[in-house]
Each structure stands twice: as C-alpha cells, then as structure tokens.
Chain A
C-alpha cells in the first residue's frame, strides 16, 4: 500500500479529514522549503503538495504565478524539487509528498527518469495539471511501475463518463476543483460541492480532496464536512509572499495558519 493510501486509511480509522497544504517548492528561496514542510507537518498537515515551478502555469491564479516566478528566479527546477523532497525525508519518512505541476519539465527529464528519481527521492505521487487521462497512459504506467500514485483533478464540468474514466486511472486520491477557475479563485459554494462530491463518490472508490477557493478556517470547516481532504494553496502562498523579506518567519507563520485550519477541520468530525 502506498504511503498516501496508508495515510488515508489511518485518517479514516480516526474519523478525521486530511489537511493538505500546497506550497511552491523553492519559494521564496530553496532554503525555505524543507523547514517549512516540517513546520507544516508539526502544525497538522497530513499530506504535502509541493508545486514544481513552470514558466507557463496556465491553471494558476496570480498568487501562485508570482510564487512560481520567485522560485524560478532562484533557479529552482524539477531536479531541485526532488532534492528538496530527499532532504525532507531525512527527518520525515511518514508524511506523503505529492508533486503538483505541469507536464513539460517531466517530458524533458523523461518519464522513466522522472519516475525513478522521484521514487528514490521519496516522492509519493504526482498531479500533472495539464495531463488528462486521454494523454496520460504512458506516464501512469511508468509511475505505477515505481509505486507512485497519479492524482487526477475532477472539475464541476466533469461529466459522468469522465468521472468514471478518471476513477479507473487515478490512485492515491482524486482532487475535486471546487470552482470553475484558476487556483485562488472566488469563494466556493459548499452546497454545490456536496452535490458534486456525492456524484463522484458514486463512481470513484478513492478518497476525494477538495481545493481551489479555500482561504480560511471557516471554509475549511465547511468543506471538511463533506470531503476526505481539505486542500489549501493560495491562502498559504499569499502568507509566504507577505514575508519574502523575512523568510525566517515563514515556517512559524504558515504553521500558525495551518494549526487554525486543523482545529477548524477537527471541530466538525
């Protein structure tokens, strides 16, 4: 069983909803990320999503675009992100890490090389924003051969057919994009999310995380009522952005925010 599946099993046994923070690797600099990851785990993160910087992040809103630009300006590339995960694993062999990004850096590294290097570094899964199942067969096969999960997005526009198709190729969990839009988009509609989640659960036998548009403890709590995992990205990255001049304060500030989210999520179980 993969580390991600194990983690969801544990949470299920405890009756808890997962908290999955997203940060862009290497933002604002490569030295920040490993301490930040540890601080997030201490504050209650169950799984960490690590953004791989790409020059053309077409699914991301302005907050994560700027984080990407900061990381790229520091020279952070896919190989460096793998090195960050490897360094994180020196002290944490439990918390699953999922890389989230775009296909092109993986294409250039090569699917097999990426799968081997990611596995060796301690990565547990990947979410490739611009790789739908129609184009993903080869990468899915390659990743699975290395025991890595391929996490897929589902959207409000996903039809029954698409949900079924994605359910057959996804592993680890599926990520429901709660709004039509980019990361950090407008507030989500909880009733609407609940309805979509019911449709997804009828077809997909995997934990369902919900993200895009969760910006505070209150929304996190409402989403936790219906989801298996609450995914928070832009709200964290925005806090990192506010501290680029004093990066040493980032782990503590983000940790405090996650603790707040953790408490809110746990309050509704």
Chain B
C-alpha cells in the first residue's frame, strides 16, 4: 500500500478526479441493483422528485442554503479525531474517528434530513413522513420539520417504540406524531411499508424522507449525495492531518447511509481498502442476524433490487441485532454493487463484539458510541493490529450512544 502523498494531494486539489465511477445510471441502476420497483401510483411522483432533486442539485442557491444549514445548524464540519490511546494500545494502525456523533441530534442522519426537507419546501410540500428504526432518523426528521414548520408523521415499529422510548419522546417533544406500526415483524421494514402506504395515499401534499440509501430511485442516489459530505470532509481532513489518505475505511452498514457517505468520495482511490460492517447478531451461523450482504441473496424489496434476508420462497425473514438501527433485512443497492464489484468488503460483527467495543471506546477515549457505530469500532479493533503503526484506519463514528443507555444497561443486568 505505498502511497505517494504528494500525488494524492495533487489529485485531491484537482477539481475533477478520474471519473471511474458514475452510478447509478439514468434509470437508477447500480449494475443489476437499485431501480424502481413500486406501484404505479408512485411512478410519476418519483419522476417528479427526481427532476426536482436534479434542479436543486444544479442550483447554487440551494447548495448555499444547505451548506449554511450544515454549518450553522448541524455544526459541520464534524471533527476528525485521532484515537491515540486506543491506537497505541492495539499497537497497529492509527485509528481516526469521523465524529458524526457530534452533529446536532447526535448522528449522521441529519445531513440527509436537512437536504430532503429543503427539497420538500422547494417542492411546496407541507407534510413530511419518515420511517425510523432506532429513532435517529425519526428525530432528525422531526427536528427539521419543527424548524421549517412542516407537519411530521414518523412510522416506527411497535418493537422499536418499546426499545427506543427516549427517542420516541424526543420526536413527540419536537411536535411529530409517532405512529407505532403493528404489522409484520413490527420493526423498521414494516415502518417503511407503512410510510409507503401513507405516501401513496397523501401523495399531493406529502414528502417522504427516506432515512437510508435504499428505496426506489432517486432515493439511494439522493441520500448518498447528501451523506457524502462525511467522506468529502474526512478525505480533506486526513490529507491535511496526515498528508495522505487512510489505508482503510470502516463503517457500519444497516441500510448503509453513513457508510456510503464515507465510502463514496474514496471509491476512485483504489489503494484505500473499504470495509462495511454488518450486524452479525448472535452470529451468522445461528441465522439470527441482520447481514444480507454477508449471508443473504439478491431480491426485490422496498422499491429496489438488492441483497436481502429472505427464505427459499422469497419471503422476507426477521432480522436480529442488538442495534435497532441495523435491524433491517435489506441494504442500499450501491453496497450490493460495491460488494459484487469487489471494491468494498463486507464483514460482520456480533452483538457481543459490538458491546465490547462500546465499552472499550467509552473507557479508553471517553466517547460513548451508538451501538450501530460500535459494530464499525469492533471491526477496526480487529483490523488495526494487522496493520503497521505508520498506516491508518478511518472509522465513521456515525452516532452517539445516549439513546442506547437502556439497552446496554439491560444487557448488563441493570434497569435504569
């Protein structure tokens, strides 16, 4: 992995790097993945959304408004933190954390909701809906809705409502109506179904803010574009701090929005290894996990073709993860493509390994990470000792762990 820092720096300074990667195609496909698999009622509204998004993307005023919001409201750029004590202890690569946990509302999710809410406003929509698993995307949606004076309804599986009560209360404080979803497995996938049903019914005044890089085109592309601020900042910060690019990127993957946000600006940097970390739950071999890229197969769900957790009859199966935000049977189609193309590797981390990493970072660096992000940390913990101290790993610390206090305490036999 010999890296010429000067060359890298020069490349970075050039406005356009080699455009080796230009997906999705015009019809929203990443190779065989992605696309538009929705009922007819949604086809034209999705086309309108795509056109509105493309207009905004090309509009300097929109970009300026968004940049100002990301700076003044979200608190960007988020810091790059060198976890020196942890790195030293492991004796391998230097670990850098991209501190998305320091964003307003406590996770990367707000990068996307800021963008989509501004788009909703431009499109004249007065009502926004969202699905949520852990509640972070619901909170981020309720937050921007409060700020823009939009009505907000958040769909959340009944199971998640019970395990994320603090976030439910936050959403309600922000003025959102939280609707517990009681169909199917009563988790994130069912919340997404219910949000789709709402959208198809209220299409005229409603904007659906999808929280991850899944769903029908243009969502995987649009959410990615809003989240790539993570990777663009981190790339520049690494160059500035270390004079070179990291040797590896690590991020957790549920739907995969924080991961694609970090990975995307590095895809053309072929010397940078990319690792996406799925939720291994009780272990891949037990079947109780949420790792479609590691142990699933391609299918069609929620408007796109991607890797899924499904049975031999094409029924979606229930997933398991200690982290509600990773408890999803699908994954963004761009990750499916990155896996098949070999550009990124997808691995899994069990509940127990994630919990150990949660405690370890808390004690070693004084940072309490989200359980989702703890999966990425746990993989970095394994990876770092295999690299040299002059090499580096960039981990996306996608969210903070305040919301997980009850889950972790319960696991430790305590009731808060």
Closest to B204 in A: A180
Give CA–CA (A77, B193) in the complex, Å. Answer: 20
Which residues of B have CB within 8 Å of A104? 299-301, 308, 310, 314-316
Residue A19 CB within 8 A of the other chain: no
Give A79 Cβ to nearest chain B Cβ, in Å.
7
Residue B14 CB within 8 A of the other chain: no
Give CA–CA (A153, B45) in the complex, Å. Answer: 15
Tell me the count of chain B residues lying within 8 A, CB to CB, of chain A.
39
Give CA–CA (A107, B203) in the complex, Å. Answer: 29
B313 and A181 within 8 A (CB): no
Residue B41 CB within 8 A of the other chain: yes
**Of residues 233 to 258 in B, which have CB atoms within 8 Å of A's CB atoms?**
none
Residue B57 CB within 8 A of the other chain: no
Give A108 Cβ to nearest chain B Cβ, in Å.
4
Give B310 Cβ to nearest chain A Cβ, in Å.
7
Tell me the count of chain A residues lying within 8 A, CB to CB, of chain B.
45
Which residues of B have CB within 8 Å of A55? 184, 315-317
A135 and B37 within 8 A (CB): yes
Residue A159 CB within 8 A of the other chain: yes
Give B133 Cβ to nearest chain A Cβ, in Å.
15
A-B contacts counted at CB < 8 A amount to 125
Give CA–CA (A166, B40) in the complex, Å. Answer: 10
- Also in contact, A158 and B44, with CB within 8 A (given A104-B299, A135-B36, A153-B39): yes
B315 and A72 within 8 A (CB): yes
Which residues of B have CB within 8 Å of A129? 39
Give B334 Cβ to nearest chain A Cβ, in Å.
17
B40 and A152 within 8 A (CB): yes
Closest to A154 in B: B40
Which listed residue (A57, A157, A166, A177) contacts B193, Cβ 8 A? A57
Give A139 Cβ to nearest chain B Cβ, in Å.
11
B44 and A159 within 8 A (CB): yes
B314 and A107 within 8 A (CB): yes
Which residues of B have CB within 8 Å of A180? 41, 200-204
Residue A15 CB within 8 A of the other chain: no
B45 and A157 within 8 A (CB): yes
Which residues of B have CB within 8 Å of A54? 314-315
A157 and B314 within 8 A (CB): no
Which residues of A have CB within 8 Å of B203? 157, 180
Which residues of A have CB within 8 Å of B200? 59, 180-182
B40 and A56 within 8 A (CB): no
Q: Mark A34-56, 1 if CB is under 8 A from B, else 0.
A: 00000000000000000001111
Q: Mark A107-141, 1 if CB is under 8 A from B, else 0.
A: 11100000000000000000001111011000000
- Also in contact, A103 and B37, with CB within 8 A (given A55-B316, A56-B184): yes
Give CA–CA (A185, B312) in the complex, Å. Answer: 32
Q: Mark A152-175, 1 if CB is under 8 A from B, else 0.
A: 111111110010001000000000
Q: Mark B180-202, 1 if CB is under 8 A from A, else 0.
A: 00011000011011001100111
A182 and B36 within 8 A (CB): no
Residue A69 CB within 8 A of the other chain: yes
- Also in contact, A155 and B314, with CB within 8 A (given A59-B200, A103-B300): no
A61 and B299 within 8 A (CB): no
Residue A31 CB within 8 A of the other chain: no
Which listed residue (A69, A77, A134) contacts B183, Cβ 8 A? A69
Residue B35 CB within 8 A of the other chain: yes
Q: Chain B contact residues: over half helix, strand or loop, or mixed? A: mixed
Which residues of B have CB within 8 Å of A153? 39-41
Residue A30 CB within 8 A of the other chain: no
Which residues of A have CB within 8 Å of B43? 132, 134, 155, 157-158, 162
Residue A191 CB within 8 A of the other chain: no
Which residues of A have CB within 8 Å of B314? 54, 78, 104-109
Q: Max chain B CB contacts within 10 Å: which of A56, A155, A162?
A: A56
Which listed residue (A56, A59, A131, A157) contacts B301, Cβ 8 A? A56
Residue B364 CB within 8 A of the other chain: no
A78 and B201 within 8 A (CB): no
B40 and A177 within 8 A (CB): yes
Q: Mark A175-214, 1 if CB is under 8 A from B, else 0.
A: 0010011100100000000000000000000000000000
Closest to A131 in B: B37
Closest to B38 in A: A130
B44 and A162 within 8 A (CB): yes
Which residues of A have CB within 8 Å of B35? 134-135
Give A237 Cβ to nearest chain B Cβ, in Å.
15
A58 and B302 within 8 A (CB): yes
Which listed residue (B45, B193, B313) contacts A58, Cβ 8 A? B193
Residue B27 CB within 8 A of the other chain: yes
A185 and B40 within 8 A (CB): no
Interface residues of A (CB under 8 A from B): 53-62, 65, 69, 72, 77-79, 102-109, 129-132, 134-135, 152-159, 162, 166, 177, 180-182, 185
Q: List 24 A-B contacts (CB under 8 A).
A: A54-B315, A55-B184, A55-B317, A69-B183, A77-B315, A79-B313, A105-B315, A107-B314, A109-B314, A130-B37, A130-B39, A132-B43, A134-B36, A153-B40, A153-B41, A154-B40, A155-B40, A155-B41, A155-B44, A159-B44, A162-B40, A166-B40, A180-B200, A182-B201
For the complex of A and B, 7 pairs with smallest distance between CB atoms: A108-B314, A105-B314, A155-B41, A77-B313, A181-B201, A153-B40, A104-B314
Task: Using A59-B39, A129-B39 as known contacts, list a sample of 18 further A-B pairs with CB atoms less than 8 Å apart, ordered by residue number in A.
Answer: A54-B314, A55-B184, A56-B301, A56-B302, A56-B316, A58-B302, A59-B197, A72-B315, A77-B315, A104-B308, A107-B300, A130-B303, A131-B37, A134-B36, A152-B40, A155-B41, A157-B40, A181-B197
